[in-house]
Amino acid sequence: MTSSPSNPSEQQLQAARAALVASLRARRELDDERTLAAIAAVPRHLFVPEALRHRAYDDVALAIGHGQTISQPHMVALMTRALELKPTDHVLEVGTGSGYQAAVLAQLCRYVTTVEVREELGVRAARTLRSAGVRGVRAVLGDASGGYAPDAPYDAILVTAGADDVAPGLWEQLVPGGRLVAPVGPEDMQVLVRWRKVTDGEPERQELTACRFVPLVGEHGRGG
């Protein structure tokens, strides 16, 4: 099969991925080689609709159906770095979407539990993760807007959709010293925030960047 701008060859896709990683490396806030290696290791083109494959390594969000998107690579990298993952960590991802973020996280930690409320997206993501050969990810269908107790506790939690605040259940499932990263704020614009759970007192809070995510769906989200 010949390649074309809308049907790139494997060689062209690999070159585009390398160029993307190089552009991310040039961003001061993403100067972290472990995170960049994780981005380089995951073929993003497998996680986007085939019709958009030629744009897989553009630094933009892309529609994946059901009003959802696969986040911009720089945002995936920023959220991943903010979790400060160790090889022994267990991570909860709230909102599987395409499965791409879970695949990136899996490069850096022991195990990822990722939960998707939309059945079609969750089934598709699980299939893509398997076909991409990603290990250490458990893909679950359900509402994790308030956490996912069966696999708790977690060393880190990532929420990949926007809400006014994070649910109390997420704090309860996070180990002391654990990190929680989530976009919070009004629907038209949020702030990506990292919290660190401390033994006593309020979690340590750090605002990272302005952002705009699709609404979190579920009991503790914005919509059904």
Q: Active-site positions?
A: 71
Identify whether the C-beta of residue 9 lies closer than 8 Å to the C-beta of residue 3: yes
Q: Is residue 115 exposed (0-12), middle (13-18) or buried (19+ Cβ within 10 Å)?
A: buried
Spatial separation of the C-alpha atoms in residues 82 and 104, rounded to whole Å: 13
Please, which residues bridge with residue 141 across strands?
116
Please state whether the peptide bond connecting residue 153 to the residue before it is cis, i.e. omega within 30 degrees of 0: yes
Identify whether the C-beta of residue 57 lies closer than 8 Å to the C-beta of residue 19: yes
